[in-house]
């Protein structure tokens, strides 16, 4: 079972991915918790290239190649071997993030993202949690972390708003695997809903 968390920056994906991993491990499941961009040694190196520096450091087209290269390494070395071994893989972001951030943010490049995905990645999650919330709340939370990986946050609130709408449209496009979760509640309340859905899917 391959589970992903998606949503705008600061929506609580990392927090929820960790809480779901804890929940499933407590129930005796073998869980690999990972993230994108990154999740393997090579992909973590690419992470620094894409998340630090000026917003206009890379074009959207170059980013599609960098994120897809990172994902391919992550898939070959971490995700596919774990799924083959029968483990549950939980990833904080995956290909839906490229469909949104590179496919929608600077013109319509969704077709290019999908073609490269079909060629190099193919795999889709079995279950995707979209943690949905107001862009202002997400951006305030993300900025509150005060890190160096702020390249996409620095695109501003307009981008966050478009990404939110885009993710909701994506959930409607792939209703079989997407579950939309209201992220504007306590972490425990969100986690309880996520755990109930994951338990049903795994049963
Ligand atoms: P994401 O991975 O989506 O960017 P994080 O899980 O890193 O989000 O959360 C962003 C920030 O918001 C963190 O400082 C985290 O502690 C906080 N946070 C996470 N979930 C909640 C919540 N339900 N309510 C309030 N703050 C939260
Ligand atoms: P992440 O570490 O999940 O940041 P956050 O916790 O703020 O949500 O992801 C960092 C950024 O990378 C995020 O702004 C979205 C961007 N991103 C893409 O643009 N394309 C992708 O394919 C992925 C996986 C992430």
Tens digits of residue pLDDT in 97-128: 999 999 998 899 999 999 999 999 999 999 99
Strands (E), 56-97: 88-92
Per-chain mean pLDDT for the chain = 96
In the chain, the percentage of residues whose pLDDT exceeds 70 is 100
pLDDT exceeds cutoff 80 at 146: no
Q: Is the pLDDT of residue 28 over 80?
A: yes
104 phi/psi in degrees, rounded to 5: -125, -20
- The region of weakest confidence among 6-15, 55-64, 134-143 is 134-143
- Band of pLDDT at residue 78, cut at 50, 70 and 90: very high
pLDDT score, position 74: 98
State mean pLDDT over 183-194.
98
Atom 16 (ligand 1) nearest CA: 15
CATH number of the CATH domain containing 48: 3.40.50.300
Q: Lowest-confidence range among 65-74, 83-92, 145-154, 188-197?
A: 145-154
From ligand 1's centre to the CA of 83, what distance in Å? 27
190 lines ligand 1 (CB under 6 A): yes
C-alpha 50 – ligand 2 centre gap (Å) = 9
Number of domains in the chain: 1
Residue nearest to atom 19 of ligand 2 (CA): 101
- Tell me: pLDDT of 150 over 90: no
Q: How many angstroms from the chain centroid is the CA of residue 38? A: 11
Ligand 1: does its nearest atom lie under 6 Å from the Cβ of 140? no
CA of 71 to the centre of ligand 1 (A): 24
Q: Is the pLDDT of residue 52 over 80?
A: yes
> pTM for the whole thing?
0.97
Q: Does residue 192 register a pLDDT over 90?
A: yes
Terminal C-alpha separation, the chain: 11
Does the pLDDT at position 93 exceed 80? yes
- Reading the block at residue 165, the tokens are 């709408």
Range of the domain at 169: 2-202
Mean pLDDT computed over 23-51: 97
pLDDT surpassing 90 at residue 144? no
Q: Cα(89) to centroid of ligand 1, in Å?
A: 21
118 CB neighbour count, 10 Å cutoff? 9
> What's residue 152's pLDDT?
85
What would you report as the CA-atom Rg of the chain, rounded to the nearest whole angstrom? 16
Ligand nearest to the CA of 106: 2
């Amino acid at each position: 079972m391959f589970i992903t968390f998606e949503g705008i920056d600061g929506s609580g994906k990392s927090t929820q991915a960790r809480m779901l991993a804890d929940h499933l491990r407590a129930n005796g499941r073998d869980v690999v918790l990972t993230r994108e961009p990154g999740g393997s040694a090579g992909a973590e190196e690419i992470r620094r290239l894409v998340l630090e520096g000026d917003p206009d450091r890379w074009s959207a087209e170059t980013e599609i190649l960098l994120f897809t290269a990172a994902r391919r390494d992550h898939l070959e070395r971490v995700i596919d071997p774990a799924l083959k071994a029968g483990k549950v893989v939980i990833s904080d972001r995956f290909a839906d993030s490229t469909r949104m951030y590179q496919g929608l943010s600077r013109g319509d490049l969704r077709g290019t993202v999908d073609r490269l995905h079909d060629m190099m990645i193919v795999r889709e999650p079995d279950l995707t949690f979209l943690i949905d919330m107001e862009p202002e709340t997400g951006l305030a939370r993300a900025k509150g972390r005060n890190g160096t990986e702020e390249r996409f946050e620095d695109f501003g609130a307009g981008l966050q708003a478009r990404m939110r709408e885009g993710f909701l449209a994506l959930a409607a496009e792939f209703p079989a695997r997407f579950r939309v979760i209201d992220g504007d509640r306590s972490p425990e309340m969100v986690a309880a809903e996520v755990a109930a859905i994951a338990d049903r899917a795994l049963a």
